[in-house]
Amino acid sequence: MIETFRRQTAFIKACIQDVLKPGDSAIDATVGTGEDTVFLAECVGSAGHVYGFDIQRAAIEEAKALAKQQGVLERITWLCDGHEHMDTYPDIVHNPKIGAVTFNLGYWPDGDPAVTTQPETTLEALEQSAELLRSGGILTVCAYSHLTGQAEKEKIEAWIQNLGRGYDAYSFEVKNHRKAPTAFIVLKK
Ligand SMILES: C[S@@+](CC[C@H](N)C(=O)[O-])C[C@H]1O[C@@H](n2cnc3c(N)ncnc32)[C@H](O)[C@@H]1O
């Protein structure tokens, strides 16, 4: 258990694994390399489904190749669009089984660091995600302190503190490391 504390991404995955069940649906709001998308597809199993958003076509193509290699391609719908538009997709809005939505903020490691998540659109997408989750579902965010990341992190911190009683919201970070990433976890009651 202590080992999962050492990396925010490992900690987040352990939390998702606790909640997401075979047959559930999930959303990867920031596909990037596709590692998280594949992880979600493995959690939901062959009866489940994952929607993956990224604004970069090249990232989606790389992620698709990984999903194919891992044998989970058929479980994933790829959406080359901003996550702030997730509430415009009828398949998502009318899906009662969304057990997890995950955000790994920042930029695609294989691409241009200038193409990064932005505080305003991230906040819009978080609001939508909290609505879309089924009861008992989990919303996770891994937020960093690079350039625009710090402002994004502060906005998320303020947002989760004001979530209503229908949710329990947590944040985790290493307190004695400067610029450590923060894991935000929101559980819907
Ligand atoms: C840190 S990477 C994600 C890492 C990924 N989860 C993985 O497993 O490799 C952040 C991704 O967010 C994408 N992104 C930036 N703004 C976005 C937006 N508005 N909607 C969806 N994706 C966005 C970037 O293109 C980038 O690929």
Domain count, the chain: 1
Least confident window among 3-12, 48-57, 139-148: 3-12
pLDDT exceeds 80 at position 35: yes
CB burial class (10 A; 0-12, 13-18, 19+) of residue 146?
middle
pLDDT tens digits for range 42-61: 999 999 999 999 999 999 99
| Structural domain harbouring 154 | 2-188
pLDDT exceeds 90 at position 2: no
Specify the CATH number for the domain of residue 166.
3.40.50.150
Give pLDDT, residue 4: 74
Q: Is 77 in the pocket of ligand 1 (CB under 6 A)?
A: no
Which residue's CA is minimally distant from atom 17 of ligand 1?
A: 117
* DSSP letter assigned to residue 81: S
Phi, psi dihedral angles at 48 (to 5 degrees):
-100, 180
pLDDT exceeds 90 at position 177: no
161 CA to centre of ligand 1 in angstroms: 24
Confidence of residue 189 (pLDDT cuts 50, 70, 90): very high
